[in-house]
Structure 1
Amino acid sequence: MDLRTIKTFKTIVKCGSFQKAAEELMYAQSTITTHIKNLEADLGVILLERGKKLQLTEAGRLLNEKGDLLLKGFENLENAMSDLVQGESGMIRIGVMEPTASYRFPELLVPFTVKYPKVQLSVQIHSSKAISDMITQDEIDLALCAAPDTASGMVFEPLFSEEVVLLLPINHPISHKEKVSIRDLQNESLIATSSFCPFRNNLERQMLEAGINPRYEMEVSNMLAAKYYVQAGFGIAVVPLVTVTPPPSGLVIRPISDFERGLTVGIVRRAERFNHGSVEYLLELIRDNLSNHKTISY
């Protein structure tokens, strides 16, 4: 059933004749006649009683009542498809690691939702490794995380380095120092994130380079929760500065003077370019808010 024929039928009913309908639709009258014959053939019913005065059959009256719903539904579908193709609707799936997900990402999404109110955002908060895997498996469209391990067809665009500090109780023996060094962590009970966390891996690498074997008191998978375990007296922790500004009651933060490499966070996506305006605008917001560096391809 061709929706154009339904529109022709509705116009005939409105105008009261084939000729007037043809004039309004700017069709030849033969085209109007063909539309109605095809529509009746598709439905297997007679819709119009031809004669001096055009009359609707019972089937014609039913189609006249329901035809507007069909046409409106099709119009809505066309508009939705157009919005989707142009990037004005649909869904963008984003993976974000902590602490970016909690401390930086929500605010930069505000102008996006104003500009693209029909676009739904799905924000998946996971570890950097899990997010990278989700990109390769096409479960998300882009990510904000640490650089992935070698992954063909992936692009990593560095944005900023996450500054880290030492968090410790105010009465801790080394809390009197304005700055601490990595060697000050020797024999200290550390609260660590999970073994696949890039923050932990970065800390371990620098401690081992300094000749120190990390000593872990407790493993807490959520880095945002680590400060509360320090507060409860389970140890000290090297954490992103943004997560402990200001520090919780009873705790202090100290910069680590020889901590050389802050963790670099950036955009991870597949190598092919996006052509949706909404995705490109989101990437623009991310870059504008989280700085810019050189893109790296894998």
Structure 2
Amino acid sequence: MDIRNIKTFQTIIRLGSFQRAAEELQYGQSTVTMHIQKLESDLGVKLLERGKKLTLTEAGRLFHQNADLLLKDYDYLQASMDELVKGDAGIIRLGVMEPTASYRLPQLLGPFLRQHPKVKISIHIGNTTVLGQMLHEGSIDMAICSTPNTGLDHSFEPFFMERLALLVPETHWLASKPSIRLRDLQHEHLLITNSQCPYRQKLENALLENGGSPYSGMEIGNMAALKYYVQADFGIAVVPVISATPTPQGTVLKAIDDLDSGLVTGLLRKMNASTFSLATESLVEIFRKELKSAVSSAS
């Protein structure tokens, strides 16, 4: 059924004649007649008895009673699509890795959502491997994560370098050491994240290259929890600086001289990202501007 034919039918019933409906809708009377004939043909029933006075058939009365609801739903759908096209509405499915999810994202989303109150955002937190797979499967629209190991038809735009440092209890012998190198971590009890975590992978590769292995360790799945286990004297941990600033009471944050600058973090999206809504593109521009400037000013 053509929505125009339904509107024409409802206008005829409201005004009581084909001629008045044609005048209001700015159609020729033949066009109005054609709309009703097409509507009756689509439905397979007669809606109007034509005579000196228009009379609704039983089917016409039923259709008339329910057509307004259909038109209201259509108008709502049309308005929603218009808002989506203009960037005023939509749903953004965002994947984010830690510590960005906890320490950077909330400050960016607040102003964005105040400017776009009809935009809905769902946030999925995970490591780069998981987020890359979710993006590949279409479960999320984009991700803020580290550089992926495989392309999977994705593009990666670097935003900033997440700086890393060693967090130790203040009673640990490394707390008072003026200069720390990766070999100093050999045989230490390291608190580490799971094997898919890019921070752990970077640390283990650096330890192998710089004589810091072997080591013993406790695996803790949540990176945000590492600092609390260091505080409780379970071991030491290499953590993103932002996640341990300010340092928990009784701990010290130390630079590692031969651990290079950190982990590149940026935007992962599909190659056909031109399909993004205007609202999503607006959020990407905020990430592009605020994440780069905030991190460079903090460095």
Superposition TM-score, scaled by structure 1 size = 0.88
In structure 1, the residue matched to 2:297 is none
**How many Å apart are 1:165 and its aligned residue?**
1.6
Q: Is the Cα contact below 8 Å between 1:94 and 1:142 reproduced in 2?
A: yes
Distance (Å, rounded) in 2 between the aligned partners of 1:111 and 1:98: 21
Q: Which runs of 5+ in 2 are unaligned?
A: 294-299
Q: Is the Cα contact below 8 Å between 1:190 and 1:214 reproduced in 2?
A: no
In structure 1, the residue matched to 2:197 is 197
Matches within 5 A, 1:1-298: 1-151=1-151, 153-275=153-275, 276-291=277-292
In structure 2, the residue matched to 1:296 is none
Structure 1 counterpart SS, 2:80? helix
Residue identity opposite 1:112 in structure 2: F
* CA displacement 1:141-192 (0-9 Å, x = unmatched): 2111111113253222111111112111111122123542323223221111
Distance (Å, rounded) in 1 between the aligned partners of 2:180 and 2:108: 34
Q: Is the Cα contact below 8 Å between 2:147 and 2:156 reproduced in 1?
A: yes
Tell me the C-alpha RMSD between the 2 structures.
2.2
Distance (Å, rounded) in 2 between the aligned partners of 1:217 and 1:157: 33
Query: For residues 51 and 272 of structure 1, do their structure 2 counterparts lie closer, same or farther at Cα, with a shift above 3 Å needed?
Result: closer
Q: Is the Cα contact below 8 Å between 2:84 and 2:279 reproduced in 1?
A: no
Structure 2 counterpart SS, 1:274? helix
Query: For residues 207 and 42 of structure 1, do their structure 2 counterparts lie closer, same or farther at Cα, with a shift above 3 Å needed?
Result: closer
Distance (Å, rounded) in 2 between the aligned partners of 1:214 and 1:159: 33
Residue identity opposite 1:177 in structure 2: K
Identical-pair percentage = 50
Q: Is the Cα contact below 8 Å between 1:192 and 1:216 reproduced in 2?
A: no
Structure 2 counterpart SS, 1:265? strand
**How many Å apart are 1:85 and its aligned residue?**
4.7
* CA displacement 1:83-126 (0-9 Å, x = unmatched): 44555433222211111111111211123223333332221111
Q: Is the Cα contact below 8 Å between 1:93 and 1:121 reproduced in 2?
A: yes
Distance (Å, rounded) in 2 between the aligned partners of 1:90 and 1:127: 25
Q: Is the Cα contact below 8 Å between 2:183 and 2:213 reproduced in 1?
A: no
Query: For residues 72 and 245 of structure 1, do their structure 2 counterparts lie closer, same or farther at Cα, with a shift above 3 Å needed?
Result: same
Superposition TM-score, scaled by structure 2 size = 0.88
**How many Å apart are 1:218 and its aligned residue?**
0.7
Query: For residues 22 and 142 of structure 1, do their structure 2 counterparts lie closer, same or farther at Cα, with a shift above 3 Å needed?
Result: same
Distance (Å, rounded) in 2 between the aligned partners of 1:123 and 1:91: 11
Q: Which runs of 5+ in 1 are unaligned?
A: 293-298
Q: Is the Cα contact below 8 Å between 2:182 and 2:211 reproduced in 1?
A: no
Structure 1 counterpart SS, 2:158? strand
Residue identity opposite 1:249 in structure 2: Q
**How many Å apart are 1:265 and its aligned residue?**
0.9
